[in-house]
């Protein structure tokens, strides 16, 4: 599938088949979750990242079914096709943003998503305690969502943020790496 086709599907589904909610409601709800986590875990930002990833993972496991139901997509034709679908269709229909797919590794197994806008992080300033700037990945839930969703379509991936404008970096970049294709399960007692 060509890139423009992905963009068209994303646009079409976003326009016709998605219930919209107020973006600020999403931003503020997500913000309170992260804030509460920071409070509950007493500023252990590594643990906060982990919890956000886990929450995202559980969202992803279900979100993929909604994605497939809305887009009526079949299986992707290689990992590059997957990357385009995530950026131009997935992020488009659920967050109305289209991150740029870039920095492919030579073996075509890992790529970066660069976010020019990120509705989760609007109005956000990281805590000024000297650690959050270096330890907290504020939007880490998105990594979990991708990991969960792709696992359900037989792709085990590893996703993490490499930079975040909230930390003072120039861009917000997520790195996604394909670990392996998960084999279909066989019925029990069928070797």
C-alpha span between 14 and 92 (Å, rounded):
7
Give strand pairing partners of 176. Answer: 111, 159
Q: Which of 23, 28, 69, 179 binds another protein (CB under 8 A)?
A: 69
Going residue by residue from 113 to 152, which x/- string records binding to another protein, judged by CB under 8 A?
Answer: ---------------------------------------x
According to the binding rule CB under 8 A, does residue 65 interact with another protein? Answer: yes
Q: Which of 5, 62, 131, 180 binds another protein (CB under 8 A)?
A: 62
Q: Which of 46, 58, 108, 171 binds another protein (CB under 8 A)?
A: 58
126's CB contacts (< 8 A; 6+ apart) are: 132, 133, 136, 138, 166, 167
**What torsion, rounded to 10 degrees, do the Cα atoms 31, 56, 173, 108 define?**
-170
Judged by CB under 8 A, which stretch of 24-32, 64-72, 88-96, 136-144 contacts another protein? Answer: 64-72
Q: How far is the CB of 78 from another protein (least distance, A)?
A: 12
> Residue 22 corresponds to which tokens in the numbers above?
């107020």
Give strand pairing partners of 177. Answer: 110, 158
CA atoms within 13 A of residue 105's CA, in its CB half-sphere: 10
According to the binding rule CB under 8 A, does residue 5 interact with another protein? Answer: no
According to the binding rule CB under 8 A, does residue 61 interact with another protein? Answer: yes
Residue number with CB closer to another protein (25 or 186): 186
């Amino acid at each position: 599938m060509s890139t423009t086709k992905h963009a068209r599907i994303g646009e079409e589904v976003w326009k016709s088949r998605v219930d919209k909610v107020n973006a600020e409601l999403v931003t503020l709800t997500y913000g309170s979750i992260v804030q509460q986590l920071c409070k509950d875990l007493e500023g252990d930002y590594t643990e906060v990242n982990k919890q956000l990833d886990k929450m995202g993972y559980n969202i992803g496991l279900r979100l993929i079914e909604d994605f497939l139901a809305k887009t009526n997509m079949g299986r992707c034709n290689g990992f590059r096709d997957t990357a385009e679908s995530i950026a131009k269709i997935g992020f488009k229909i659920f967050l109305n943003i289209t991150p740029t797919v870039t920095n492919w590794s030579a073996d075509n197994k890992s790529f970066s998503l660069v976010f020019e806008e990120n509705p989760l992080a609007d109005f956000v300033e990281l805590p000024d305690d000297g650690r959050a700037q270096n330890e907290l990945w504020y939007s880490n839930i998105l990594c979990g969502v991708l990991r969960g969703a792709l696992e359900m379509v037989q792709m085990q991936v590893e996703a993490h943020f490499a930079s975040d404008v909230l930390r003072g970096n120039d861009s917000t970049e997520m790195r996604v790496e394909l670990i392996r294709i998960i084999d279909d399960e066989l019925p029990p007692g069928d070797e």
